[in-house]
Amino acid sequence: MIFGMVHYRPKARVGWMFSIAALLLCLAGYLARGQTQLFELQDSPVPDILTASAYAALFGSLIGFVRPHRCGWTADHFLDIALVAVCGLLASWTMLSWPVLANAAQVGPNEVVMAVYPMLDTVLVAVLMHWMLTREPQGIALTMVETGVGMVILCDLAVSLDTAGLTRLGDRYALVPFFIGLGLFGVAALHPTMVKIGAHVDYLERSRHRAIVIGVVLIVAAAVPPVRLSADGFDRWVIAGLLALLLLTLLARSERSRQREIRAQHLADHDALTGLPNRSALLRSLSAQPATVSVLFIDLDDFKAVNDRYGHEAGDDLLVEVGARLRASLRRSDTLGRYGGDEFVVVAPVDRADALVLADRMRAQLAAPFVLRDGSRLAVSASIGIATSAAGLTRDNLVRYADRAMYAVKASRRAGVAAYDLERYPDRSGPTWVSIG
């Protein structure tokens, strides 16, 4: 790996440096464990200290490789990692860790360390799985690194199964994945694509894959407690604590999902600039109104000139302020939305006479000058078209005819209000003028 770092000079070296430290510590721990067995020093803490340090370095290596993904992560992703980790901890404690402690004649530091190893592996697995599900492919070298980490974890799993008395593989076979993992790390460092590992990459959203993984681990977690129905004492408290932590994490994840759905629905129904309901939300609101309903179509006069003279940022600020003023003139039963551009639409459960009064209030709200970012004062007027269902128009036609009435005001080249009158224009050929103010 040192040769690969010197030869290819990757920009992100933190992960590789931690990888080198992890491999050296793993080898040192393995050699130290062999020496303690050779000289019958079974109580020596040196091998376990070295191995635990290797875990810390391996975790640092993963964090060094994962770090560029932080820009796309949210609390949902960390909760997903927590769910996988807690489920893994529950399975590890039940199947691997507690049997080591329960079968020991006397619980000492070595037994505690052997019980902790599977739980450390669980945390590594959670981070590794989530990382693999939130990144774009980065070449053969990264695949080798991921496989190497998986092999090291598989080695620890084999040793833990032997220690728990569930298998009889022996050190000779249990350590095979460990040496394969070491070899893969070395080969990965020699491949040219190693420069891509740890480099900044775009975050990849794979919600469906994450949901599948979480579903699988939850099924495993649900199957674990029945295995230990006879749990008592300390074992029972640990299982109960892990189950409580799993429940809290699930509740937090569920609440986050609910809040995300609410935000997504809000964004789908509201204009991003003004925060007002958008066109689709307005049409749904119109369909839910009572028999008598009026639509007021508002269009700002000469808005293009504002953008041309003061810039689009000033135009956006003006639209936001116009929306706020129009909303201040409405009742709770009225719905104001941005239809598009500088066009606003009001849906109100009123007849035409009250709609004219409402239009008068809105024009009064817009009468005061607007103050732009640069301190400029700007007078704004609006043309308003009205269509009322009681006049014989169907709801499907209300917005369309209110729009036509508004354009009739535009054509007159004077700010005002126009409303369709079917008694005067039974063929809906044009609006009748109603002068306000």
Name the DSSP letter for residue 224. S
Active-site annotation holds for 427: no
Catalytic residue among 48, 156, 342, 403: 342
β strands within 301-398, DSSP E:
335-340, 343-348, 370-371, 377-378, 382-388
d(CA 25, CA 54): 5
Q: Please list, in sequence order, all residues whose beta carbon lies within 8 angstroms of the beta carbon of residue 246, skipping any fewer than 6 positions away.
A: 83, 86, 87, 90, 221
372 close to 314: Cβ distance less than 8 angstroms:
yes
Q: Please list, in sequence order, all residues whose beta carbon lies within 8 angstroms of the beta carbon of residue 417, skipping any fewer than 6 positions away.
A: 356, 359, 360, 363, 383, 384, 385, 386, 409, 434, 435, 436
d(CA 176, CA 169): 11
274 close to 320: Cβ distance less than 8 angstroms:
yes
341 close to 279: Cβ distance less than 8 angstroms:
no
d(CA 308, CA 156): 68
Q: Please list, in sequence order, all residues whose beta carbon lies within 8 angstroms of the beta carbon of residue 229, skipping any fewer than 6 positions away.
A: none
375 close to 381: Cβ distance less than 8 angstroms:
no
Longest dimension (CA), the chain: 110
Hey, which residues are catalytic here?
342
